[in-house]
A and B are shown apart, each in its own frame.
Chain A
Amino acid sequence: MVENERHLLELCGVSVGFPEKRRGLKLVTQGVSLHVNPGEAVGIVGESGSGKSVSMLASVGLLSGGGRIVEGSVRFLHGEKYIELNTLGQKELNEVRGDEISMIFQEPMTSLNPLMSVGHQVEEMLVLHTDCEAGERREKVLAMLKEAGLSDVEALYGKYPHQLSGGMRQRVMIAMAMILRPKLLIADEPTTALDVTVQAKILKLLKKFQTEYGTAILLISHDLGVIKSVCSRAVVMCGGRVVEQGGVENLFGQPKEDYTKKLLAAALGKENVLRQAHTQNSGEVVVRVTDYSVFYEEKAQKTKRGAEGDCDMAAKKSGLSALLCKKTRREVVKHVSFELYAGEIVGIVGESGCGKSTLAKALAGLNPLTGGTAFISCSQPQMVFQDPYGSLNPTKTIGWLLTEPLRLHHVGTKEEQRRAACEMLDKVGLGAEYYSRYPGTLSGGQRQRVAIAMAIMLRRRFILLDEPVSALDVTVQEQILVLLVKLQKEFGLTYLFISHDMNVIHRICDRVFVMYGGEIVESGEALQIFDNPKHPYTKKLLGARV
């Protein structure tokens, strides 16, 4: 590092505190020091709760909930001299933000105003910070949108955010952030909500702006791959402190701190496969799906909503779809056929919208509009959902949730049910002391353990896992995957594991189906798919893996 080089942004010992009930301040970050040089791309890595977003939001004065910088200073190179961002008033801060510092956020749907056309939203930046004429503004906006990789910009100008895809929205956000050519772009998990193939394109775009306009980028992400592909230097954060920082090559090549090593180990699943593809194929078919299609109604027909209630297996098998007129339906899963054998973990991979979740829900009997046949050797398969916050009823205790399946099927006495639930809690690594706690007091990983326990309570042999680790941090992902494999062996389960994440699939699955546009485009042993992909889409997916 050159001694006399002037940093663009400097955080010196920044501690951010949130006011807490009765007890004054709770410190979320402690003594965070880092800097960004002009034109440099720096990454901040860490798990959720590590304080990576909070420290950056605090630096630009965007914290909500009463949080503020308690200690330390944030300096930003403004013209020739430094200004202290943490001492500026709202008005002066507004001038720096947008003009010289801009931000993009994780969820492009919520960070765009749904009631304003995207063109006007981008134009708003010019209205606030420059004194261009209306015509000139429009020209600039159109040029910028084009530069952000969007096509047909004239038509796009008048469109509203809900008419765009996630990737397009994020491009609009980037156009908005870059139109004033800021010196610093803070990107907070800009690609987390996007599909892998889109993700790679967005990262390329960021990189392009960095090299072309010399914009410094501060990229916040939990994904080491994302950081690696854009940044030259990275900062690892954990528990509100900076653990380690340095050049990307050094940091990820020879990590010094234990935490960095742990993070790397969890992220680079390739060397760490949990299951090899040595399936002792018992030949016993657990699931046989032939020419199976799943439909959605194109425009929700009111009269058919009533059918949702009684979508049990019987209704599904009898082919309720025959009763419905064809023109209102859209085929989401198209004529897929496959077999699952006892004791297998089979992965379905594909990007969002490819129909993989729809397929799982239909197999579980949650969508009655199906065609073809699905034979499942056990009664009602169980399912683990992606979002551990939505899948557990917040008003019930963990014990109640775990005993509910037993109550519903009249298994055992109250005392036996209680004992079974406690045993299951032990098995998923939580312990009986969680019995009387509520989901609200658990972390995401703990909740997912409860959800898995619930799915196993009835000892059904076939379990559908719909993105079970996608909402979790990498190190927690690791633990849940290990748990899933352990339980699979112990109870002799068969999993259908759905994920968009090739790394996760690679680690856990024996066989893989690649889905694209509602069809299975490639299937085979996991090793074969990963080492020798045949279909162009599979190659693209593997290529986008960062």
Chain B
Amino acid sequence: MKSTEKKRRQPNTVNWSLAVGIALVSAVLLFVFVGLFYTPYDPMEMSMALKNKPPSLSHPFGTDYMGRDVLSRVMDGAGTTFLIGVVTVVIGLVLGTLVGAFTGYYGGLADEILMRLNDTLTSFPSILLALVFVSVIGTGKYNIIIALGVIFIPSFARVVRSEYIVQKELDYVSNARLLGAGNLRIMFVHILPNTAPILLSSVTIGLNNAILAEAGMSYLSLGVQPPDPSLGRMLSEAQGYFMSAPWVALAPGMMIVLTVLGFSMISENIGRRERDFGGK
């Protein structure tokens, strides 16, 4: 047995794509973290004299149409975008896991109803749904978190549900039942940890989607409201000056690309690893 277990772990040299992914994400996180305490300039401070200045030593990424420092605004705005992304995913994760666990474990009529509801939600483009939500509950940073969070529930629910359907048939679950464990304990103490690998990769994919969705919503002026910066908001503002001052769009755009790239690289590797270990 030992040799086959070893074999499965092969070939395992340095995993460059995972390493690069982790490096990218931690660089972005560090950048955001510093932005919480220190930015070179006040991200809201306007100056007509500095309007649309190209990158220079004093403003490494230039200034925008109100003379605000782009670097400072990216540092501040990336934090906002991150916050929205993380909270959105947490809402989707917690509620989605609950829905998925119950429907997958019990099956039956409730499963049928909830899953058709799920299908209804997924059959609309998520940005369209968010638009509907926002038009009902209003715009703003916190409303957008709620709107996006709700929209993220179905994808998590589906992943968790299918995992529960597989896991509940395994012998260790029968064993736990014979030992006297109740349904709730089986669901959340025995089975839940076994869904961790698949949840982890959906979380990283979810983070990507949340960050892109925030950028999209703010770009449509439905998310973060001016003068607060967020990556999407900044892109939206830079659009009008794209020909004359392209650097204003460059910094937030790059930030989104690097973050998404980093998370994608990590999640792809988590998914692959899980496939390698999962099958018997």
Contact = CB atoms under 8 A, between A and B. Distances in A.
B175 A383 contact: yes
Interface residues of A, number: 50
A278 interface: no
B1 A48 contact: yes
Contacts of B5: 440
A19 B10 contact: yes
B2 A306 contact: no
Contact of A305 (B107, B183, B196): B107
A366 interface: yes
Given A306-B106, A393-B172, 16 more contacts: A21-B10, A48-B1, A67-B7, A303-B108, A306-B107, A364-B178, A380-B178, A380-B180, A386-B171, A389-B280, A391-B171, A393-B176, A393-B194, A404-B181, A408-B185, A444-B1
A404 B176 contact: yes
Interface string B1-13: 1111111111111
A307 to B, nearest CB: 9
Contact of B7 (A65, A302, A303, A306): A65
Interface in A285-306: 302-303, 305-306
B49 interface: no
B105 to A, nearest CB: 8
8 contacts: A302-B112, A306-B106, A383-B174, A386-B171, A390-B170, A393-B172, A408-B179, A451-B175
Interface residues of B, number: 37
B11 A19 contact: yes
Contacts, number: 110
A314 to B, nearest CB: 13
B7 A382 contact: no
Interface of A: 18-21, 26, 28, 48-49, 51, 54, 65-67, 302-303, 305-306, 308-310, 361, 364-366, 380-383, 385-387, 389-396, 404-405, 408-409, 440, 443-444, 451, 454, 457-458
Interface in B176-191: 176-181, 183, 185, 190
Interface string B262-280: 0000000000000000001
A347 B75 CA distance: 71
Contacts of B172: 390-393
Interface in B27-55: none
A419 to B, nearest CB: 19
B136 interface: no
A458 B171 CA distance: 18
A308 B1 CA distance: 34
Nearest to A53: B4
A88 to B, nearest CB: 22
Given A49-B1, A385-B171, A444-B1, A302 B108 contact: yes
B31 to A, nearest CB: 33
Nearest to B194: A395
Count chain A CB atoms within 10 A of each CB in B2, B11, B179 and give the residue with the most. B179
A169 B79 CA distance: 59
